[in-house]
Structure 1
Amino acid sequence: MFRCIVLVPSYNSGPLLRSTVSAVLAVWPDVVVVTDGSTDGSERTLDDLLPAHAGLKILHLTQNGGKGQAVLQGALWAMQAGYTHVLTMDADGQHPVQAVPDFISLSCSVPQALVLGVPVFGPEAPLLRIWGRKLSNILIGMETGGAVKDCLFGFRVYPLRLLVGVLQASRYMRGFDFDPEVVVRMVWQGAPVLNKPAMVQYFNAADGGISHFRYVRDNIRLVFMHLRLLFAWLRRACCGKPRLSS
């Protein structure tokens, strides 16, 4: 039986965490929040929501392990709780809460598929972000035969068993390399892809916007990720499917 829960990884998300979770609970009853070693106390802003929302679960990780690690821990809990799918979304309010039911409905109709959000940017979106992701999308498109239209947008629905299997088979995909690499490896494992447009809202610092992306550190991580995937893709082309753990 299809069961989907919204998974929100959070690291020092401040007041945006409560507003995001409250908005999700207004459209979907099942939410798991994974606080990834947060030190700002933002998870405590959710405590009063728990009595009124039986489907809300909060997992606390004592050390910051990265987005991929937070998603893995939330996914493992969700599997044990009987869920079959997770919709992941960021805690910073950029992802479209109103699209949650439509994405889950599409996933229910094709449960073996990845349902990937394709961002629709507003005029407030930084041009550096828009153009910076184009190269990644070109490379990921090549590695997946054009199946993935956007590899960096974290608003998406995953079949849980395949997601957990791919993550547990690799020591990578724990930081900002999670979103692009996991979809490539799931496609290589045979998951079909459904791409669905979704609006993006950017908040600047004055509006409480938060970004933990560090351009030097995390772009270096993404470069090494693309090198791993390109070598695996070449091995796939020349010698058959690459090993999942490569």
Structure 2
Amino acid sequence: MRNCFVIPIYNHHETIAATVAALLPYQLPLIIVDDGSDMATKQVLAQLAQQHSLIQLLTLAENGGKGAAVSAGLRHALAAGLSHALQIDADGQHDIQDIPAFWQLSAQQPLALISGAPLYDDSMPRSRRIGRHITHFWVHIETLSRDIKDSMLGLRVYPLATTVALLDRVKLGQRMDFDIEIMVRLYWQGVPVQFIPTKVVYPQGGRSHFNLLRDNWLISKMHTRLFFGMLWRAPVLLWRKWSQA
């Protein structure tokens, strides 16, 4: 296994240095994708890239969304000869201490998508909690199973060859709909999906880029596409479920 980290970032200049510092001890490439950030973030990223040789900085010309940034990072990682990428956010929400468990499970199941199953505290906004429950409901319908425990957390290890092949074949959502859609579509094509419980916090004063109207509209359209995609895949999904019972 040839591992790396992929970190999408958009205007998180306050937290990225701490995230980088926590990941450097793993001595793995850090592919940071600047998704059209402001000048303050670009300055911090340039300083970090100059200080640490493990950092590979990609800069997108304009803000394309989290999905666009992650996709660019995954493609870059595969082109660089790497086999697995752990996607992690730049805003400090994810528990860095759980990362060894992700790499360990990925080594045991190198063909699988390894994702966090989030354990939230009281810092999670109520609106986001309701939105997650709605998405879980639709994902269970779209996969005809309860195998996917969470499809929205951006802490996961991707098997790069399989994932980039999917990105080349299907046009996925480019914003907050990306994490959900890519997991469902990987599941559809038989990629094992494994989950590790992990704590997630919403830092006080943290900056969220979730746009209530735009992203909920994009997620609604995505669920519509996935629902109709499930219909003609239903016989295969049901056969898989019964054969594993």
Report if aligned partners of 1:27, 1:101 keep a CA contact under 8 Å in 2: no
Matched residue, 1:59: 58
**2:195 corresponds to which residue?**
195
**3-state SS of the aligned residue for 1:117?**
strand
- With structure 1 as the length reference, what TM-score do the two structures score? 0.90
Report the AA paired with residue 216 of structure 1: L
Supply the AA of the counterpart residue of 1:233.
M
Matched residue of 2:147: which SS? coil
1:148 alignment counterpart: 148
Gaps of 5+ in 1: 242-246
1:1-246 alignment runs, 5 A limit = 2-50=1-49, 53-144=52-143, 145-205=145-205, 209-237=206-234
Q: How far apart in 1 are the matches of 2:237 and 2:142?
A: 14
Question: Are the aligned partners of 1:10 and 1:91 in contact in 2 as well (CA < 8 Å)?
Answer: yes
Q: Which amino acid aligns with 1:235?
A: W
Gaps of 5+ in 2: 239-245
- Amino acid across the alignment from 1:212: H
Displacement after TM superposition at 1:233 (Å):
0.3
- Offset of residue 3 of structure 1: 1.1
Cα 1:104–1:238 shift into 2, 3 Å: closer
Shift of 1:27: 4.0
Q: CA RMSD in A?
A: 1.8
Q: Which residue of 1 aligns with 2:241?
A: none
Contact 1:27-1:98 at 8 Å conserved across structures: no
1-structure distance, mates of 2:39, 2:137: 37
Moved more, 2-11 or 52-61: 52-61
1:61-97 Cα deviation digits (max 9, x unpaired): 1111111111111111111111101110111110111
Q: What is the aligned-residue identity percentage?
A: 38
Q: How many residues align?
A: 237
Report the Cα offset of residue 47 of structure 1: 3.3
